[in-house]
Amino acid sequence: MGLAAVISLAPVLWTVSTSFKNQLEAQRYPPSLLPQQVKLSNYTDLFTDSDFHAAAVTSIIVTVCVTVLVLAVAFPCAYALVRLNAYGSKLVLLLIALAQTVPAIVVLIPLYSTVAKFHLYDTRTALVLVYTGLLIPFSTLVLMGFIRSVPVEIEDAALVDGCGRLKVLLWIVLPMARPALATAAVFTAIYAWNEFLIAAVLGGERARPLTVLISHFVSQKTILWGPMTAAVCLVLLPVVVVVVLLQRQLVAGLAAGATKG
């Protein structure tokens, strides 16, 4: 156990330590465990870099939009799949299974030329739309598992009292489903923040999230370790904060998101 914890953390801590070293110290071998002089310049350089700014803004906007959109669309969808035996259910489940097993690159190459045809190449709109499509399945599965676990009698009572389905969904199921919605939101937000391939294919200079920006560090001849590790740490920081604070939601969502329950 202890060994596993060390193996989990040591690489991250090593990277954090390097991000505070100056270029000379970062390239020295044997390396120093802790920076001899704590340098903030790797970070301050990034904060004043306009490309980094733009990428951070793109990452944040896309993450927020995708999370809101996915929940707004997946919640009624999950309800219709579990409770209403809706027309089209089979097709939706088929598409969910496809999205979970077929590699993203399979849909991204055709999307690349299609998106260009609609003048959406290198726009945040395209990123939000495609991220949403690929992240709907996970949230739908999480929410389906939850809705199935709630007794149907409460809804039936409301229906007898003359409530429409929409009212039942918004006034009865929605308040109860708040924990499941939180779980789905946390996962969706992290996945959207982490996404790289979609943005690498469908985004250019304008719609470039942080993941794509930092990937350019390795394509340079000499890798600047200090700035690179600092950028990596900044991308990882929000994820680590969320994981530590919302541990319980994450563990709950893991099993629920893999199956229909």
Partner 1 sequence: MATTPAAGESAPPRRRLQRRGRRLSGLAFLSPALAILLIVIALPMAVGLYQSFTDMALTRPGAPDLVGLKNYQSRVLTSTFARAAGVTASIMVLSLAVQLPIGYYLALGLSRRIPGTSLFRTILTIPMMLTPVAVGLMWRFLSDPDLGFIRWIASLVERSAHPNLLGSPTGALLLIVGVSAWSHIPFVTLMLLAGLLGVPDELYEAAEVDGADRWRQRWHITLPGIAPVLLIVCVMRLAGDYRMFDLVYTVTNGGPGSSTRNLSMLAYFEGLQYYQIGRACAIAMAMAVLALPAFFAYRKVAKL
- 1-30 residues near partner 1, rule: CB under 8 A: 1, 4-5, 7-12, 14-15, 18, 26-30
- 156-185 residues near partner 1, rule: CB under 8 A: 165-166, 169
Measure the CA dihedral 234/237/239/240, to 10°.
150
What is the closest distance, in whole angstroms, from the C-beta atom of residue 40 to partner 1 in the complex?
A: 19
Nearer to partner 1, 30 or 162 (CB): 30
CB half-sphere exposure, 219, CA atoms < 13 A: 5
d(CA 197, CA 105): 8
* Interhelix angle 50-83/89-101, nearest 10 degrees: 140
Q: How far apart are the first and last CA of the chain?
A: 30
- Is residue 129 involved in binding partner 1 (CB under 8 A)? yes
∠ CA(33), CA(39), CA(44), 5° rounding? 135
Query: Given the rule CB under 8 A, which of 39-47, 48-56, 93-101, 171-179 is the region that contacts partner 1?
Result: 93-101
What is the closest distance, in whole angstroms, from the C-beta atom of residue 48 to partner 1 in the complex?
A: 21
What is the closest distance, in whole angstroms, from the C-beta atom of residue 88 to partner 1 in the complex?
A: 5
- 212-241 residues near partner 1, rule: CB under 8 A: 214-215, 217-218, 223, 225, 228-229, 232, 235-236, 239-240
Applying CB under 8 A, which of residues 20, 52, 79, 138 lies at the interface with partner 1?
79
What is the closest distance, in whole angstroms, from the C-beta atom of residue 7 to partner 1 in the complex?
A: 7
Phi-psi region of 88 (alpha: psi -120 to 50; beta: other; left: phi over 0): left
The residue type at 75? F
- 32-71 residues near partner 1, rule: CB under 8 A: none
What is the closest distance, in whole angstroms, from the C-beta atom of residue 74 to partner 1 in the complex?
A: 6
d(CA 141, CA 92): 11
